[in-house]
Amino acid sequence: MSEQNLQQASNASQNTGADEVLLRVLNLKMHFPITRGIILQRQVGSIKAVDGITFDLLRGETLGLVGESGCGKSTTGRAILQLYEPTDGEVIFEGQDLTQIGSGDLRRMRRRMQMIFQDPYASLNPRMTVGSIVGEPLEVHKIGGSRREQQERVQELLKIVGLNPYFINRYPHEFSGGQRQRIGVARALAVNPSFIVCDEPISALDVSIQAQVINLLEDLQSEMGLTYLFIAHDLSVVRHISDRIAVMYLGKIVELADREELYENPLHPYTQALLSAVPIPDPQIEKKRQRIILEGDVPSPADPPTGCNFSTRCPQVMDICRQHEPSFADVGDGHYVACFLYDEVQPLNAEGKPVTVAA
């Protein structure tokens, strides 16, 4: 991606009227090597899970990140928190580039960043009590003073997330899925973070419990001024909780806009196809609307198509789409899209530089 387009994309949040950028992601890439051989392993390729994405996240807002399974959503969240070491790019959090700081500084920064994991059954150690699980961050970061004070803090956190503080000595198997996810939320809140990556926190829960967890996250954000990167594939949930929404396909963000603008005026063909699959409760409207069915399978991230990643499945594909990658540009009012259907969008060559297209 060219410097010009990086600057355009990094300005995506400035049209929202907020003043402070908490997190800035610039040209983030996360490529996993493909190796061959048992003893003398050699790299024969790479899986481009995240392949050059750029966005800003404002303090106090929720940015929804949506896309189908395998598009790189969860990898993006983990790379931002440095749980994976990014292949390239910058992750600037509160003015510091997390990709350039040492392990000691990164450990201190992790007090400000936390994650709520997708699976509430796998993310909690079955051999630890709830008190130990929620209290472990306090011990690691030396927060809370004496053991008694830490225990009181754990009980307070359990109460905040809607659990009985007397459950402190119980084990994870004694709780339901929704209760376990609340324990995960309490653990994330233990170090008073300003930014939380919510990695599909409700996808493993019953529908009735999903609403309770979403309401809890919204209440906590209002009370504590939290900032969320909310990763999900349920578009109706994302619309409810997010301020802005980014749509991801095969390792790249293809559209970014305010939530109402995105749902009322989707521009990218992939976004249009996703929204056409969202059920509408009104049977009359549901009967009249047209569903967009995408043909073919998602290409392998180990061998993405030349040009636009979506060109192999796009119902409106043009010749230029198979030759060049569209730039990620603002088409008006902070609505960003990477698509040649819009004149403002200029193609990029293999080096990420704009190319001139003959009329």
Q: What is the CATH number of the domain that holds 100?
A: 3.40.50.300
Do residues 78 and 225 both lie within one domain? yes
CA distance 197 to 312: 31
Do residues 201 and 290 both lie within one domain? yes
Structural domain tally of the chain? 2
In a domain? residue 353: no
In a domain? residue 122: no
Confidence of residue 71 (pLDDT cuts 50, 70, 90): very high
Q: Please report the pLDDT score of residue 270 as a whole number.
A: 94
Phi/psi zone of residue 89: left (φ > 0), alpha (ψ -120 to 50 degrees), beta? left
Q: What is the pTM of this model?
A: 0.87
In a domain? residue 359: no
In a domain? residue 119: no
Q: Please report the pLDDT score of residue 245 as a whole number.
A: 96
Do residues 231 and 311 both lie within one domain? yes
Tens digits of residue pLDDT in 198-240: 999 988 788 888 888 899 999 999 999 999 999 998 888 899 9
Confidence of residue 15 (pLDDT cuts 50, 70, 90): very low
Strand partners, 53: 28
Do residues 204 and 276 both lie within one domain? yes
Do residues 166 and 281 both lie within one domain? no
In a domain? residue 53: yes
Do residues 202 and 336 both lie within one domain? yes
- Of 150, 177, 192, the last residue of a domain is 192
In a domain? residue 32: yes
CA distance 319 to 340: 10
What is the average pLDDT value for the chain, to the nearest integer?
87
> Alpha helices, DSSP H only, in the chain?
3-10, 73-80, 103-109, 130-140, 147-160, 177-189, 207-224, 235-241, 259-264, 269-276, 283-288, 319-323
Do residues 35 and 88 both lie within one domain? yes
- Residue 284 tokens, joined: 């009359």
User: Would the pLDDT of 269 be above 90?
Assistant: yes
Do residues 105 and 162 both lie within one domain? no
Do residues 62 and 188 both lie within one domain? no
Do residues 26 and 100 both lie within one domain? yes
User: Would the pLDDT of 9 be above 70?
Assistant: no
- Of 169, 192, 215, the last residue of a domain is 192
In a domain? residue 118: no
Q: Please report the pLDDT score of residue 281 as a whole number.
A: 72
Confidence of residue 19 (pLDDT cuts 50, 70, 90): low
Nearest to 303 by CA among 113, 44, 57, 101: 44
Does residue 39 or residue 335 have the better pLDDT?
335
Question: Do 229 and 188 meet the contact criterion of CB atoms below 8 Å apart?
Answer: no
Q: Please report the pLDDT score of residue 253 as a whole number.
A: 96
In a domain? residue 120: no
- Give the Cβ contact number of residue 319 at 10 Å: 10
Do residues 274 and 166 both lie within one domain? no
Q: Please report the pLDDT score of residue 17 as a whole number.
A: 41
Average pLDDT over residues 247-265: 94
Nearest to 68 by CA among 203, 296, 234, 196: 234
- Of 143, 166, 192, the last residue of a domain is 192
Q: What residue numbers bound the domain in which 149 lies?
A: 128-192
Do residues 218 and 82 both lie within one domain? yes
